[in-house]
Amino acid sequence: MTEREPVKSHTRIVVWTSIAVLLAAAWFATSRHQPQCRCFPDDNCWPSSAEWDSFNTTIGGKLIATVPVASPCHDGFPGVSYDAEKCAQIQQNWARPEFHDQTTHSTMAAFFANMSCDPFTPRDAPCVIGTYVPYAVNASGVEDYRQTLKFVSKYNIRLVIRNTGHDYMGRSTGAGALALWTHNIKDISVLDYESASYAGKAMKLGAGVQAFEAQETANSHGLIVVEGDCPTVGIAGGYLQGGGTSPLASKFGLATDQVLEWEVVTAKGELLTATPNQNQDLYWALAGGGGGTYGVVLSVTIKLHPNMPTASATLFFIEPSGAYWDIVQVFLTNLPAVGAVGGVVYWQTLPGNMFRMPQSYLPNGTAQDLEILLQPTLRALDNSGIPYTFSSRDFPTFQDSYLALNTEMNVTEINLGGRIVPRSLVASDSAASSLTGAIKSIMDNGGVFASVVMDVGRAPSYSNAVHPAWRESLFLAFFGVMYDRQNLTANRVAQQTVTDKLVPALENISPGSGAYTNEANIHQSNWQEVFYGSNYPKLLAIKKKYDPNGVFWGPISVGSEAWEVAGDGRLCMVGN
């Protein structure tokens, strides 16, 4: 590598990002009468109580005013008294996804709540709505979508789309926002689907359906859904619209590669069906171009696949010496062989030179097949004399293996970073050494590191907007510094460490790759390229077409650079 190459790469990023910002700025500059800031509580433009009541009547009483879920842990929130017993229950359940996804407002990534009303702060700490949404609409269908969009447009209110609150990027909450809560749209049907490009079993899912609900229904028909690792994640929203990693991804592709059609309501209230042959641009953008950006999804129809026997294996070892990293490097070079035959591996490096592979899946394979695939790593461990625990097992169906290995999936409280790591980084010994060194650097700087290994290199049946880096990926890396429940300042410092030290460790050895819009660094620089790659200009044009006034907004979403969150939490156009 010459000295000039990093300079060229940096220049390209700066120019590329500048073009994206100019395109977004030009979009909003041409929008007539565009307000400078969204209306905020206590502003003169904020709806009166009578206007909120009228809206509630229009939507059949489905408007819910936020009472922070942790308010029993504090004094002072109107209408709620301190209750030590309730507070203890809240603290005990805080790490459970189910505790948050039943609420209209609580986000699982606690940083974005800004400790507005936190169960782990002292009793006399403020309990305010703060960055939580003050109101939510418990939507049940298209008319609720339309009336909500009409209301936020009339009063210039920020809109948030929320299902479960599974969101590391701060898109499911927002100060002064009205949430369109899709969680209770639970329609599920198994179809014999036929179109010009696909004939077979499919499933139509309402916007609120979660992975465990979809999988249970599919299993009852002898079928499986390409779902995420956490069973409580909603499928139709940010998960699918961001790409969708999965234990089944090496076998069938990313979750969004399974999409046959979307039902989506645009900012104007139009209900559109988007397929590879109808409203193709909207279909393409929704399938990987980021959630909550082009419209609000009412339902999605996805391919189903026959259920099948699945093998799984786990591996664990601790080695305090430098030999630990020798084994990690062997493991890394071993991974392409596993992904190439449909296997998916979840693994972690943790403080104290601890290695965990808590999950791996080989659909239509056997435990013996999986053990043979992992033999280079096991042989290296045997030769080194490092003690380890390895087990492999056959299961009659995928879901049996999934439930056995996912016994408890709690919220990961972390200041997060992420990177799509390309297969080229294990193509040679020197490249693999660089990758091993980058992971070690993350650990040395106080981080933890985890990964899901997937081979999704095959072209999908229908073109979609996922970052092109996915097709060259070895694994998705997510890493970070653990979240401090007591100290928001410490978390801000930790996030700076993620931005300045942890993310660059992998960026510097993978120029041109990207990151996953659902699991990455919220402070990512040149994020347009990192999250969307060469697709960004096209995605921005589609955003402009279907949402000309920027009704749909979220951090790092397409077009979001034209807006910023002000110091008091309100959403304003950049430069105002």
**Residue-level pLDDT at 18:** 53
Rounded to whole angstroms, how far apart are CA atoms 462 and 287? 10
3-state secondary structure 207-239: CCCEHHHHHHHHHCCCEECCCCCCCCCECCCHH
49-181, CATH topology level: 3.30.43
**Complete edge-to-edge strand list for the sheet that includes strand 448-453:** 388-395, 310-318, 354-363, 344-350, 448-453, 473-482, 414-422
What residues does each domain of the chain span?
Answer: 4-30+535-573, 49-181, 188-306, 310-532
Average pLDDT, the chain: 94
- Pairing type for strands 199-206 and 223-224 reads unpaired
Rounded to whole angstroms, how far apart are CA atoms 63 and 475? 42
Helix (H) or strand (E) holding 162: strand 158-162
Q: Where are the beta strands (DSSP E) in 244-333?
A: 259-265, 271-274, 296-303, 305-306, 310-318
Rounded to whole angstroms, how far apart are CA atoms 495 and 482? 10
| Residues 419, 524 contacting (CB under 8 angstroms) | no
| 310-532 has CATH 3.90.380.10 classification | no
**Residue-level pLDDT at 27:** 53
Rounded to whole angstroms, how far apart are CA atoms 77 and 73? 10
- Pairing type for strands 135-138 and 177-181 reads parallel
Per-residue pLDDT for the chain (576 aa), expressed as one digit of tens each? 333 333 333 444 444 455 555 555 555 555 445 569 999 999 999 999 999 999 999 999 999 999 999 999 999 899 999 999 999 999 999 999 999 999 999 999 999 999 999 999 999 999 999 999 999 999 999 999 999 999 999 999 999 999 999 999 999 999 999 999 999 999 999 999 999 889 999 999 999 999 999 999 999 999 999 999 999 999 999 999 999 999 999 999 999 999 999 999 999 999 999 999 999 999 999 999 999 999 999 999 999 999 999 999 999 999 999 999 999 999 999 999 999 999 999 999 999 999 999 999 999 999 999 999 999 999 999 999 999 999 999 999 999 999 999 887 888 899 999 999 999 999 999 999 999 999 999 999 999 999 999 999 999 999 999 999 999 999 999 999 999 999 999 999 999 999 999 999 999 999 999 999 999 999 999 999 999 999 999 999 999 999 999 999 999 999 999 999 999 999 999 987
**Residue-level pLDDT at 22:** 55
| Residues 520, 416 contacting (CB under 8 angstroms) | yes
Count Cα atoms within 13 angstroms, Cβ side, for 11.
Answer: 5
| Residues 489, 436 contacting (CB under 8 angstroms) | no
Count Cα atoms within 13 angstroms, Cβ side, for 472.
Answer: 16
Of residues 393, 385, 392, the one with CA closest to residue 327: 385
Q: Which CATH architecture has domain 188-306?
A: 2-Layer Sandwich (3.30)
Structure tokens at 364: 């239509």
Q: What is the pTM of this model?
A: 0.93
What contacts 455, CB < 8 A, 6 or more positions away? 249, 250, 336, 339, 340, 342, 473, 474
**Residue-level pLDDT at 406:** 86
What contacts 257, CB < 8 A, 6 or more positions away? 226, 287, 456, 460, 461, 464, 466
Bridge partners of residue 201, in order along the sequence: 192
**Residue-level pLDDT at 25:** 53
Of residues 210, 225, 480, 478, the one with CA closest to residue 351: 480
| Residues 156, 277 contacting (CB under 8 angstroms) | no
Structure tokens at 7: 């300079």
Helix (H) or strand (E) holding 430: helix 429-444
Q: Is 98 helix (H, G, I), strand (E, B) or coil?
A: helix
**Residue-level pLDDT at 196:** 87
What contacts 458, CB < 8 A, 6 or more positions away? 253
3-state secondary structure 443-457: HHCCCEEEEEECCCC
**Residue-level pLDDT at 20:** 55
